[in-house]
Structure 1
Amino acid sequence: MDNTPLEKLIEENKLAEITELLSKQPALAIAATSHHISPLLLAAYYQRPDIANAIAEFVPELTIFEACALGKFEETTLLIFKNPTSINSYSEDGFTPLGLACYFGHEEIARFLVLKGAEVNVPSKNGFNVFPIHSAVAANNINITRILFDAGAYPNVCQKSGMAPLHSAAQLGNIELIILLLEHGADVNLRMEGGKLPADLAAEKGFEEIAEILRDDD
């Protein structure tokens, strides 16, 4: 099924038109987009939760990935109860439920998934090698980052580009998050592809004091 009309409306942020279209063609709500993900997930990635929630009204049952991306706690718990093995499954675009909960900053869901046995040290299966801790730090979420560390998350895992969690935190200039990472063993000397250190990224963003903290002068 060609889902170009709905996909275009999502990209253009046309909520009213989306509701009208789905009222006439509800099957579009579960038809894959050209990105090989559902319309709901596409809306979530575009940071349009109002549209994602509107699409959800036309979806008979959310997937575990959609529930985690949208922050639907009750739906997430029910789906895990019905299918416990789905907790460490992968979405079409290669992310685990925990990875999505971390990326979208849903603390309650992240905590629940960890408690139920979600693996915290597995990367995405899409070539980008994104771990849940990368997503939590990129979301600037110290509480979820702490949850992951409490569950044994590794501090120095690197994405495809060589970016470690400390690189992301340095770019954000979040000193509290940086301190948390350092307390759990984050390495200030890890270099990305191209050779940049966390201190270099902080300096590029104008966070000179943070850059000084992250420089290893020993």
Structure 2
Amino acid sequence: MVPEDHNSFKVHEASYQGRYEEVKEKVLNNNRLLTTLDDSERQALHWAACGGHEELASFLIEHGAPVDKADDIVSILMDNWSDVNLQDKRGATALHRAASKGNIQSMALLLQSNQCSINVPDSEGNTPLHLACEEERLEAVRQLLERGAITDKVNREGKTPIQMTSCLSIRRLMRMNEM
């Protein structure tokens, strides 16, 4: 998606330069700017991360900027600051988002950092494993289990990750992991 107006170009440039108030005003007036791509197919979050603007990147994430894109946003965020467990307004971390979307590449980067809290719940009590199971992301479930994700943690509905899926392959994998 190439930006249709000059505001989207301005928000990308302002994000790179760390002009927090300007970006905040534009995004609050038009939240579509969070997902708008510039000519190089990058979002404002990418440019905020490239510029090393942690507070601005946090604002963008909290207001819905996706962190599970297939580009290098995760790498940039990890290189510029150490808080890979930053939570959005729903309590989800980058690992929650990547697991629910089955973004194996982003998950691998996050998990390799050894700083990632693999069992942290979001505001609904769901861990990344709950979400990977619910969305039937077999490879995401496999990665989380290999890294020691807790399989019996219950969410606010009282469900464990295995209770969130109807996928037989995931259920089999989870049972094998418990042995």
Residue matched to 1:161: 124
2:106 is matched with which residue? 144
- Measured against aligned partners, the alpha-carbon deviations of 1:185-218 in whole angstroms (never above 9, x if no partner) come to 1011011111111111112xxx123223324867
Structure 1 residue 141: deviation in Å? 0.5
CA distance in 1, matches of 2:26, 2:65: 18
2:151 maps to 188
Q: Percent of counterpart pairs with the same letter?
A: 19
The reply on whether 1:87 has 2:54 as its aligned counterpart is: yes
2:72 paired residue number: 108
Structure 1 residue 182 displacement after superposition: 0.7
Instruction: After TM superposition, list the pairs within 5 Å mapping 1:1-218 onto structure 2.
Output: 19=4, 22=5, 26=6, 32=26, 37-41=30-34, 44=35, 52-53=36-37, 56=38, 66-68=43-45, 75=47, 79-80=50-51, 84=52, 86-89=53-56, 90-91=58-59, 94=62, 100=65, 102-103=67-68, 105-124=69-88, 126=89, 128-151=90-113, 152-203=115-166, 207-215=167-175
How many residues align? The count is 159
Q: CA deviation at 1:91?
A: 1.5
Any unmatched runs of 5+ in structure 2?
A: 12-24
What is the TM-score with the length of structure 2 in the denominator?
Answer: 0.71
CA gap 1:38/1:213 in 2 versus in 1, 3 angstroms: closer
CA distance in 2, matches of 1:92, 1:39: 11
Structure-2 separation of matches of 1:27 and 1:169: 36
Instruction: Report the TM-score, using the length of structure 1 for normalisation.
Output: 0.60
Does 1 or 2 have the higher relative contact order (CA < 8 Å, sep 6+)? 2
Question: CA 1:93–1:117 in 2, change beyond 3 Å: closer, same or farther?
Answer: closer
RMSD: 3.3
